[in-house]
């Protein structure tokens, strides 16, 4: 009745959907930095990223880190929308960003495209280092890796073809 291997959307469609859901959040951060809109759009973006994380090849521990990032960031967005103080939600979000860093670095190092690999490692290191050393620095320092993540996803949408990987794995 159900086929586990059947895809609802192509990887490219999934990646473009993630970008499309992120763009309103980027605008909301720039135009209305204190509104709940950024958290609402952030939750939507992170929900679409479940499809991206699940579809990219990587070790099980890296996928677990990617899913952990999504769960923590969605929970923090919901906390902020519901009035939980920033001082409580923000460190939890940073912990999620550390998991994101682990995931994106692992996935990027496995990628054969140099631009995807280099950009992913830069994003992962930036967010991971901010988690450890960001106290006392402006939160705006995590804006650039957020925007670069959209560029990274766009590169994947344009270059990554899961069917090519499957075909090469089956071919002798």
Each residue's pLDDT tens digit, 91-123 = 999 999 999 999 999 999 999 999 999 999 999
DSSP 36: T
Task: Give the whole-angstrom CA distance, residue 148 versus residue 138.
Answer: 18
Q: Is residue 4 part of a domain?
A: no
Sign of CA dihedral 139, 142, 143, 144: positive
Does a structural domain hold residue 113? yes
Q: Indicate whether 169 belongs to any domain.
A: no
> What span, in angstroms and rounded, lies between the C-alpha atoms of 42 and 51?
15
Q: Which domain holds residue 62?
A: 11-160
pTM over 0.85: yes
Q: What's the whole-number mean pLDDT along residues 51-72? A: 96
- Number of domains composing the chain: 1
> Is the residue at 49 inside a domain?
yes
Residue 29: the pLDDT is 79
Compute and round to an integer the Cα radius of gyration of the chain. 16
pLDDT of 165 over the 70 cut: no
Q: 1 in a domain, yes or no? A: no
Any domain includes 171: no
The predicted-structure confidence for 10-50, as pLDDT tens digits, reads as follows: 899 999 999 999 998 888 877 877 777 888 999 999 999 99
Distance of CA 85 to the CA centre of its chain: 24
Cα separation of 10 and 110, whole Å?
20
Residue 119 covered by a domain: yes
Residue 156 domain-assigned (yes or no): yes
Give the CA distances from residue 48 to residues 31, 32, 40, 58, 81, in Å, rounded to whole numbers and listed in that order.
23, 23, 13, 18, 19
């Amino acid at each position: 009745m159900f086929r586990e291997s059947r895809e609802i959307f192509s990887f490219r469609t999934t990646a473009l959907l993630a970008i499309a859901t992120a763009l309103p959040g980027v605008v909301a951060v720039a135009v209305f930095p204190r509104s709940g809109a950024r958290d609402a759009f952030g939750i939507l973006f992170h929900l679409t990223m479940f499809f991206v994380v699940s579809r990219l090849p990587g070790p099980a521990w890296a996928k677990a880190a990617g899913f952990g990032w999504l769960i923590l960031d969605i929970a923090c967005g919901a906390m902020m929308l519901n009035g939980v103080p920033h001082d409580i939600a923000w460190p939890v979000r940073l912990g999620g960003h550390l998991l994101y860093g682990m995931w994106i670095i692992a996935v990027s190092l496995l990628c054969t495209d140099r631009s995807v690999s280099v950009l992913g490692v830069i994003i992962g290191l930036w967010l991971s280092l901010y988690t450890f050393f960001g106290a006392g620095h402006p939160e705006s320092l995590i804006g650039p890796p957020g925007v670069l993540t959209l560029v990274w996803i766009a590169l994947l949408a344009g270059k990554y073809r899961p069917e090519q990987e499957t075909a090469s794995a089956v071919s002798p």
